[in-house]
Amino acid sequence: MVVYDFLQGTAPLLISCPHVGTVVPEEIAGRMTSDGRSVADTDWNVHRLYSFAADIGASLITARYARYVIDLNRSPEGQALYPGASNTELCPTTTFGERPIYRDGGAPNEAEIAERRMLYWEPYHDQVAATLQTLKQRHGRVLLWDGHSIQSQVPRFFDGKLPDFNIGTGGGTTADPALVEKVAAVAKDSGYSHVVDGRFKGGYITRTYGKPAEGVHAVQLELSQITYMYEGAPFGFREELADQVRPAIRAMLEAALGWVRND
């Protein structure tokens, strides 16, 4: 069973897109509500904005299975990502709109969650960890860029409208400040709104693998979906918008990659 797609690059850069998958196994889908089967909270096609990955030598890993099956950006032990705020689980039971994902009695029990973790979560993280180790050994230091997107307005998680670029570094703990400064400078000049360590400070992936003192720097980009797609069903990709935002994303990555390489 293939749970992710992987492109091996040579540069000290791994781009991770853990929430782009839309596959739901038939047995799980059969217990879901219509809201669950819609997988509406997918980071729809965000990996298409990184179509330049091979051109800059980046490695790229993208999930195949939906976050409603298991959330690859959550702790395997189920700890809340943002204590005190509204959170979704390792195996989510409600949508971002707080609608049930499963029909009555259909939610996974602890044994099923453990099985999903083994089948879907562990292989993705094994590949992330192995790639970072290989690239660090080759280059001395490495950047992990975790690519996400979310609707521009989600009252469950934040008030009002989200900035276009939400750059997260675990509150300044997952990447060198000089690297983050270069990324933020590009964002500022891009014409898009941005914030660093605002509502979204980076999820489990960023916080777990980002260890600047050990030469592994991690940055999450939570992109407002209004910048590249229709935010309502059927969540269509808008190439005319993507053509505008993609160069800004590439410029941020190239600035960060230049810092990693000491260019």
Domain ranges in the chain are 4-260
Which pLDDT value is given to residue 78?
A: 75
- Checking if the pLDDT of 86 tops 80, the result is no
Q: What is the pLDDT of residues 209-262, one digit of tens each?
A: 999 999 999 999 999 999 999 999 999 999 999 999 999 999 999 999 999 998
Phi, psi (degrees; rounded to nearest 5) at 140: 95, -40
Contact present, 89 and 28 (Cβ < 8 Å): no
Residue linked to tokens 């219509």: 34
- Checking if the pLDDT of 75 tops 80, the result is yes
Which pLDDT value is given to residue 84?
A: 67
Q: What is the mean pLDDT of residues 45-61?
A: 98
- Whether a cis peptide bond, with omega within 30° of 0, leads into 234 is yes
Which pLDDT value is given to residue 87?
A: 77
Top CATH class, 4-260: alpha beta
Which pLDDT value is given to residue 177?
A: 98
CA 140 to chain centre: 24
Q: Where are the beta strands (DSSP E) in the chain?
A: 4-7, 13-17, 59-63, 142-150, 165-168, 194-196, 216-224
Which pLDDT value is given to residue 1?
A: 87
| pLDDT-wise least confident of 51-60, 70-79, 105-114 | 70-79
Which pLDDT value is given to residue 77?
A: 87
